[in-house]
Chain A
Amino acid sequence: METREPCSNLEKICRSGAFVVTSELGPPKSAESAVIHKKASYLKSVSDAANLTDNQTAIVRMSSIAAAVLCLQDGFEPVIQVTCRDRNRIAIQSDLLGAWSLGVRNVLCLSGDHMRGGNHPQSKPVYDVDSMNLIAMVRGMDTGKFQNGEEIKPAPRFFVGAVENPFAPPYEFRPYRLRKKADAGAQFIQTQMIFNIPRFKEFMKQVVDLGLHERMYILAGVGPIKTAGAARYMRDQVAGMDVPDEIVKRMESAGKGIEDKRAKAEATREEGIKICVEIIQQMREIPGIAGVHIMSIEWEEAVPIIVQRAGLLPRPNPAEIKLPESQVAVAA
């Protein structure tokens, strides 16, 4: 791992060795800032940072940098997502300079969902750089160089993250792709939502064999399912998700036999949270996992319940963390 002054609170918590909890905050499909403040109020006390999605599933939403600034006003640590889908290398670098000047310190680099699945399928795909080169570009800015080699003064220094999906074929290649990301300079990894635990364990075994868990903080992605229909949809329709039949059956049987609609929905949601907590418990036992990333898609109210039941409270206060001298001695 790196030995330099941590550039964000999230990096500080990662380095301290605590079990990290990050969450996801989806900006609204409108110009309403109150939505962000409301969602942040749920997540603030129970997670160390929140990802602000960059037009996820290619549906137009509030810009992730703008939403990050609203989060900062609430005193909540944001992680901005940067996708290659909508911007070329000029726009990405200029946005990152702006984000740094506004106080954002964490960046998550992704390729981004294709616009064909979004609400503007007729738009032009950019994909000027891919996620691997995006990571390299952000880390290059960190050392004071634009992608073309020109100097930046002062350089923005971000805590750079990346994502990995262990459930998409070719399975043999996935750990090596993660190694490519580590070589490009990724400092933390958030995985796709985990439901298929045997497959994930196998993946983590290969990752540990390659020694990647010592170079990056790997946060396991988890998430509660709200309804049985959502579980079926994720199993059958969503690309890159691996939901075993067993989970779908559990979700279906939770609400079985209950006449009252509201009580039925309540029972199903309860089961969704229960499954999520069980998965977090299992993640804590897997070697090489530094934390969890809770993706509650448009269901932020569930996160405090999950974190509390998983026994991850109270969250560490970054101001009180004192890192050993050896970890911060050398400046980058």
Chain B
Amino acid sequence: MKWYEWGPVAWARNYLNTHPRVENFFQVTTFPLEAAAKKLIFGCQTCGQCLLHENGMTCPMRCPKTLRNGPCGGVRLNGHCEVYPERWCVWYKAYYRSQTLPLLPKTWREDMFRHHPPVDWRLIGTASLLNELTGRAHGIWPTPPEEKKKAAPQPAAKT
């Protein structure tokens, strides 16, 4: 069983997805805390779909091209960025950190070699922790209530 299928977590996700105002309350309260802490430590760009752990605790959104699938072909021979020669290439750091940082689980190290979907720009400026819980960070969006009504088949009238 995956962690998000666990009873209380599944219940919380379901509750947040069906109560947008409650979710908004948590977004407003969690976002500043999460963003401030991550900004200070990792230079977070608040993309709302965090990949820190899969990239050796290096934020790929710090890349000037905001690449999510590995370094571009312009990395300088000394491992510096093509756009800002004085900076390290984010992906150069990410690769070596993901392979050498202690205490990282093996699956996180292997995530470096996995294909990542493009950024969902609807989530920019939202709390990644909450998006992880509601499933939006993985592209699972609740169906809007209007559409749900349309989709639900009306019970046939008894004759």
Within 8 A of B (CB), among A83-106: 84-85, 89
Check B68 against A113 for contact (C-beta < 8 Å): no
Cβ A183 vs Cβ B115 within 8 A: yes
In this complex, the member of A131, A163, A173 whose beta carbon has the largest number of chain B beta carbons within 10 angstroms is A173
Among B43-51, B72-80, B130-138, B148-156, the stretch that binds chain A is B72-80
The residue in chain A whose Cβ has the minimal distance to the Cβ of B113 is A176
Task: Indicate if B8 sits at the interface (CB-CB under 8 A).
Answer: no
CB distance from A294 to the nearest CB of B (A): 18
Any A CB within 8 A of the CB of B70: yes
* B77 contact set on A, CB distance < 8 A: 167-169, 242
Residues of A within 8 A of B91 (CB): 170
**Which of chain B's residues 48-93 have a Cβ closer than 8 Å to chain A?**
64-77, 79, 82-85, 89, 91-92
Beta-carbon contact of B67 and A239 below 8 Å: no
B contacts with A: majority SS = loop
Instruction: State the A residues within 8 Å of B (CB).
Output: 84-85, 89, 111-114, 116-117, 125, 127-133, 136, 163-165, 167-170, 172-173, 176-177, 179-180, 183-184, 192, 239-240, 242
Residues on A with C-beta less than 8 A from B70 are: 132, 173, 177, 180
Q: Which of A84, A112, A113, A170 contacts B95 (CB 8 A)?
A: A170
For B87-115 the 0/1 string (1 means CB < 8 A from A) is 00101100110000000000000001101
Greatest chain B CB density within 10 A among A112, A129, A163 is at: A129
Which of B73, B89, B92 meets A164, CB within 8 Å?
Answer: B73
Contact A117 B83 (CB under 8 A): yes
Picked from B65, B85, B121, the residue with its CB within 8 Å of the CB of A111 is B65
Q: How far is the CB of B116 from chain A (nearest CB, A)?
A: 8
Give the contacting residue for A180; candidates B89, B96, B113; CB below 8 A: B113
What is the total number of residues of chain B having a CB less than 8 Å from a CB of chain A?
A: 32
Q: How far is the CA of A180 from the CA of B116 in the complex (A)?
A: 10
Count of CB-CB pairs between chains A and B under 8 Å: 103
On whether the beta carbons of A130 and B68 are closer than 8 Å, the reply is yes
Residues of B within 8 A of A192 (CB): 73
Known: A240-B72, A240-B76. 17 other contacts (CB 8 A): A111-B72, A114-B64, A114-B83, A117-B83, A125-B65, A129-B118, A130-B65, A133-B68, A133-B69, A136-B115, A163-B73, A169-B77, A169-B79, A170-B71, A170-B79, A180-B113, A184-B115
Are B71 and A173 touching (Cβ within 8 A)? yes
CB distance from A210 to the nearest CB of B (A): 11
Instruction: With A89-B118, A170-B92 as known contacts, state yes or no: A130 contacts B76, CB within 8 Å.
Output: no
What chain B residues lie within 8 Å of A136 (beta carbons)? 115
Q: Does B117 sit at the interface, judged by CB under 8 A? A: yes
Residue in A closest to B70 when the chains form the complex, CB atoms: A177
Q: Is the CB of B115 within 8 A of A240?
A: no
**Are A130 and B118 within 8 A (Cβ)?**
yes
Q: A112 vs B82: C-alpha distance in the bound complex, in angstroms?
A: 12
Residue pair A168, B83 in contact (C-beta under 8 Å): no
Query: Which 4 residue pairs across A and B have the least CB separation, nearest first?
Result: A165-B73, A239-B82, A132-B69, A168-B75
**Residues of A contacting B64 in the complex (Cβ-Cβ under 8 angstroms):** 114, 116, 125
Determine the chain B residues whose CB is within 8 A of the CB of A127 once the complex forms: 65-67
- CB-based nearest A residue for B98: A173
Assess whether B117 is in contact with A240, with CB atoms less than 8 Å apart. no
Chain B residues with CB under 8 Å of A111's CB are 65, 67, 72-73
Q: Tell me which residues across on chain B come within 8 A of A164, comparing CB atoms.
A: 73
A130 to chain B, nearest CB (A): 5
Expressed in whole angstroms, the minimum distance between the Cβ of B106 and any Cβ of chain A is: 16
Kindly identify which residue among B74, B96, B115 contacts A239, using a CB–CB cutoff of 8 Å.
Answer: B74
Residues of B within 8 A of A125 (CB): 64-66
> Given that A114-B64, A130-B68, A240-B75 are contacting pairs, would A170 and B96 also be in contact in the complex, using a CB cutoff of 8 Å?
yes
Which of B68, B73, B85, B115 meets A168, CB within 8 Å? B73
Chain A residue with Cβ nearest B119: A128
Residue in A89, A116, A132, A165 whose Cβ sees the most chain B Cβ within 10 Å? A132
